[in-house]
A and B are shown apart, each in its own frame.
Chain A
Amino acid sequence: MNKKWSKVKWSLALVTILLLSAVVHGCASTSDDPDSAGDLVVVSWGGEYQDAQKIAIFEPFQEQTGINVIDLSPVDYAKLKAMVESGRVEWDVVELEDSFYYTAVKEGLIEPLDYSIIDTTGIDPQYVEEYGVASIIGSGGIAYNTESFPAGKHPQSWADVWNVNEFPGVRGMTKLPIFTLEAALLADGVTQDGLYPIDVERALTKLDEIKDHIVWWEAAAHGIQLLVDKEIDLGFVYTGRVLDARDKGAPVEFVWNQGICGTNLWVIPKGAPNKENAMKFINFALLPENQAGVSIRFPYAPSNEKAFEFIPDNVANDLATNPDHWNKMIRIDAEWWGENWDHVYEQFIAWLME
């Protein structure tokens, strides 16, 4: 009897110790490679776009420097703000949209960039800011599913998107006021000059016309997924996503007319744990070959002009920077958004819930 009891007792103790050690070991280990030159947490927009960045930038950077790159998605502005304000920043490099860049600067959420480490040759000065540097020139606009709208019968302007009779189907819009309000005003006949400052009331009234036909998407990758799956027939999707899906065989197409352009910027949150590595990373990300690596795999235009030397012509033609496309598109007034984001967003959310 005694022997059995001892066996039970010891095996129990052993199992418990094993379990607890597994748990503790799991909790304690965060970095995989003990010899690494540190970590770097990069946050971008997910999906195929981030996959392209991974191949063209993140992995080569890790190979070259030995820094362990952890990439996350999507960029969550509220989370960024919360982290900086609580002093517990987990992100080192973030790719922000230009409209939020100005808000981030205003609220002191990002670090000034050290241009002694970051080399910006080849980058147009307008894309180089004190707290951020442009990574890509992106755009979004009208996209449609070619199975729902055969050639010749597809929407070609925002007014068409608002025309539910001639172009029936489910519309997809981003669940944010930016791009959405611009689209509404463009559909209402406003041109680039009259776009800003945005008349929010007018835009929302225009949106009311098709509100019941809209499915709202949040993540960029979700938007294109909905279009490919025909959960939406047409609507606003980011250019790069549409063209990438199209090139991979999906029945989708993008309309350059009345597209809306903006830039994304690399920034470093204030108080980032690996600031040094972050600066090195941004420098690496701006190199022409690396930017070209992204643009070839995912059709967003590079911010570094020298990158075009590495981009074949047929790809370059599909980028927003192609003059044919560039002249048909509208440019976001990022500064206006930076100043007015908060109250416009509240208004928009209130309207959404009605």
Chain B
Amino acid sequence: MKAIILVLHKIYEYCFRRNTILYIYCALVLFFMILPIIVVVIISFSSGLHFSFPPPGFSLDWYRRAFTSSLWMPALLTSLRIALGATVIAVILGTAASFALVRAKFTGKELINSFIIFPMIIPLIVLALAMYIFFSSLNLTGSAIGLILAHAILGLPYVVINVSAVLRGYNEDLERAAIILGASRIRTFFEVTYPLIKPGILSGALFAFIISFDEVIIAIFLSGPHVRTLPVVIWEQLRTSVDPTIAAVSSTIIFITVAVLILIHSIKKFNKNMPVERVDR
């Protein structure tokens, strides 16, 4: 018995020190994470009728179908419109709020911070139900405005987090210098503050955009005959006819998501090179 434990211990030591098994294990996990997405993309290019794997051949048919469809294209446009609207609202409100949260000192700041972050953690189904009932009484269900407002609430925390992060690492002396040199408040904001926090605003905006673009649950509850977002159409199709056109649509969304992520990443990298870090912290 002791011998077995000794052997196991030796194996464990070997692994822990050499890390090979760790690496293999992690490779498996990461492969597991990325695999389904790759499968979807591969299937979207399949010339076969169903989800046969490996696909019999290469074909852009499904993409053609998706992009000429009277079902998918209006939904895409609706999604874009709503995401845009939600992002604009979230950015305006969120940026303003970030300034207050970072620079002002008042009691209850922690509380308000939590309040703003709360939509991020609340179960979406609860929020969907609440908004559905509330908007019903306002006749806003099935309208674009309702959906835009709802998604703005979801995007707001992301903008606040991103802009606050940039603001916190930002040296206020630059602004003071500008004022001392005679600039007005507005001018200082546009020429000094804004360019420097722009990366934060941009990344927050992109996050808010993706969140709105991909959001399903609230969209299901709040959509109507005239307003159906892309995820809602995907959801409906998944419950009736599942075919590779959905794969093509999904792949398109994946590509858009990747593009936005790369954009955010490059913005953050660009921001890192800017010398606006606080020196005295």
Contacts and interface: CB of A to CB of B under 8 A. Distances in A.
Direct contact of A and B (CB under 8 A): yes
Interface of A: 1, 5, 8-9, 16, 19-20, 22-23, 26-27, 30, 41, 46-47, 70, 72-74, 86, 88, 90-91, 218-222, 225, 229
A6 to B, nearest CB: 10
Interface string B231-256: 00000000111110000000000000
B210 interface: no
B41 to A, nearest CB: 21
B88 A222 contact: no
Contacts of B88: 16, 19-20, 23
Interface of B: 50, 77-78, 81, 84-85, 88, 136, 139, 141-145, 148, 187, 190-191, 224-226, 239-243
A90 B139 CA distance: 11
Interface of B is mostly: helix
6 shortest A-B CB distances, which residue pairs?
A219-B240, A26-B81, A23-B85, A221-B240, A27-B144, A222-B240
B240 A225 contact: yes
Contacts of A74: 240
Contacts of B148: 23, 27
Given A23-B148, A229-B50, 15 more contacts: A1-B191, A8-B190, A22-B84, A23-B85, A26-B77, A27-B148, A47-B240, A47-B241, A70-B225, A70-B226, A88-B136, A90-B225, A91-B225, A218-B239, A222-B240
A229 B191 CA distance: 61
19 contacts: A1-B191, A5-B190, A19-B84, A22-B84, A23-B85, A23-B88, A27-B85, A27-B145, A46-B240, A47-B240, A47-B241, A72-B225, A86-B136, A88-B139, A90-B142, A91-B225, A219-B239, A221-B241, A222-B242
A5 B242 contact: no
Given A23-B84, A86-B136, A41 B225 contact: yes
B95 to A, nearest CB: 13
Contacts of A41: 225
B241 A222 contact: yes
Contacts of A219: 239-240
Contacts of B145: 27
Contacts of B50: 229
A5 B191 contact: yes
B241 A26 contact: no
A9 B190 CA distance: 8
A90 B190 contact: no
A2 to B, nearest CB: 9
A66 to B, nearest CB: 19
Most buried by B among A1, A5, A27, A73: A27
Contact of B143 (A27, A70, A220, A225): A27
A89 to B, nearest CB: 11
A5 B187 contact: yes
A30 B226 contact: yes
Contacts of A222: 239-242
Contacts of A23: 81, 84-85, 88, 148
Nearest to B144: A27
Contact of B241 (A20, A30, A225): A225
A88 B224 CA distance: 12
Contacts of A20: 88
Contacts of A26: 77-78, 81, 85, 144
A172 to B, nearest CB: 14
A175 to B, nearest CB: 11
Nearest to A6: B190
A5 B183 CA distance: 12
Nearest to B137: A86
B278 to A, nearest CB: 26
Contacts of B224: 90
B204 to A, nearest CB: 16
A229 B239 CA distance: 14
A22 B145 CA distance: 13
B233 to A, nearest CB: 12
Nearest to A41: B225
A46 B225 CA distance: 14
Most buried by B among A26, A73, A86, A218: A26
Contacts of B136: 86, 88
Given A5-B190, A19-B88, A27-B144, A225 B81 contact: no
Nearest to B243: A225
A44 to B, nearest CB: 13
Nearest to B88: A19
Contacts of B187: 5
A347 B179 CA distance: 73
A229 B244 CA distance: 13
A22 B136 CA distance: 25
A229 B240 CA distance: 13
A180 to B, nearest CB: 18
Most buried by A among B77, B78, B226: B226
B192 to A, nearest CB: 11
Contact of B81 (A22, A88, A91): A22
A161 B258 CA distance: 48
A46 B71 CA distance: 12
A232 to B, nearest CB: 13
Nearest to B224: A90
Contacts of B77: 26
A299 B243 CA distance: 23
A91 B142 CA distance: 12
Contacts of B85: 23, 26-27
A20 B88 CA distance: 8
Contacts of B240: 46-47, 73-74, 219-222, 225
Contacts of B241: 47, 221-222, 225
